[in-house]
């Protein structure tokens, strides 16, 4: 089986996905925010915030896992992407670490499926194509060495990321 058989692209709201774990592009407080973070907290309900309060925040490039509460997903992996500051501040290493740490958490629980949003490409300003290439490279490398997660979903929400990921995954345009 090629690793490409374990990768999917879905366009839409990550809070609606029927997967074992969804990834939240959180901030270091882990206490909620805008964008995908706000959407996840709204959909999961107040229990998620209560659980997050017990975690004591999270450093950039790291990840922590909670239950999914009212989400369809059983688990939420909270990871903190870098704010893009021109590219010479270690942002690529930090973004790669977000993907790798998130995958390691779900692999540790032997979960089948995980869905990622396009971390750091919203208000944190990471150039979308570069961010997508990092995401893809880390996922490819990780799947090459691990049986779990069996499936990785890239969940795109905006037109630009949709086009970039279709191109990157060789899906053609439509």
CA 85 to chain CA centroid, Å, is 20
CA 17 to chain CA centroid, Å, is 13
162 binds ligand ADP, rule: CB under 6 A: no
Using the rule CB under 6 A, which residue among 70, 123, 137, 146 binds ligand ADP? 123
Q: E strands of the chain, at which residues?
A: 7-11, 21-26, 63-67, 75-80, 113-116, 151-156
**CB neighbours (10 Å) of residue 149?**
26
Using the rule CB under 6 A, which residue among 7, 23, 25, 152 binds ligand ADP? 25
155 binds ligand ADP, rule: CB under 6 A: yes
Structure tokens at 113: 């499926």
Q: Could you tell me the smallest distance in angstroms from the CB atom of residue 160 to ligand ADP?
A: 8
13 binds ligand ADP, rule: CB under 6 A: yes
Rounded to 10°, the helix 35-44/46-53 angle is 110
Using the rule CB under 6 A, which residue among 124, 136, 142, 165 binds ligand ADP? 124
Using CB under 6 A as the binding rule, the residues of this chain from 65 to 94 that contact ligand ADP are 81
For ligand ADP, the binding residues (CB under 6 A) are 13-15, 25, 35-37, 39, 81, 117-124, 155, 157-158, 161
Active centre residues (catalytic): 37
């Amino acid at each position: 089986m090629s690793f490409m058989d374990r990768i999917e692209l879905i366009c839409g709201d990550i809070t609606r996905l029927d997967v074992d774990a969804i990834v939240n592009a959180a901030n270091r407080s882990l206490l909620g925010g805008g964008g995908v973070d706000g959407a996840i907290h709204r959909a999961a309900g107040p229990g998620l915030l209560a659980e997050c309060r017990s975690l004591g925040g999270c450093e950039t490039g790291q990840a922590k896992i909670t239950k999914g509460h009212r989400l369809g997903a059983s688990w939420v992996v909270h990871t903190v992407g870098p704010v893009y500051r021109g590219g010479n501040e270690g942002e690529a290493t930090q973004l790669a670490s977000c993907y790798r740490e998130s995958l390691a958490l779900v692999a540790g629980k032997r979960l089948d499926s995980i869905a990622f949003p396009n971390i750091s490409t919203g208000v944190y300003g990471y150039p979308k194509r570069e961010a997508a290439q990092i995401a893809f490279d880390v996922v490819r490398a990780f799947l090459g060495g691990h049986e779990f997660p069996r499936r990785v979903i890239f969940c795109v929400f905006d037109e630009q990321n949709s086009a970039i990921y279709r191109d990157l995954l060789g899906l053609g345009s439509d």
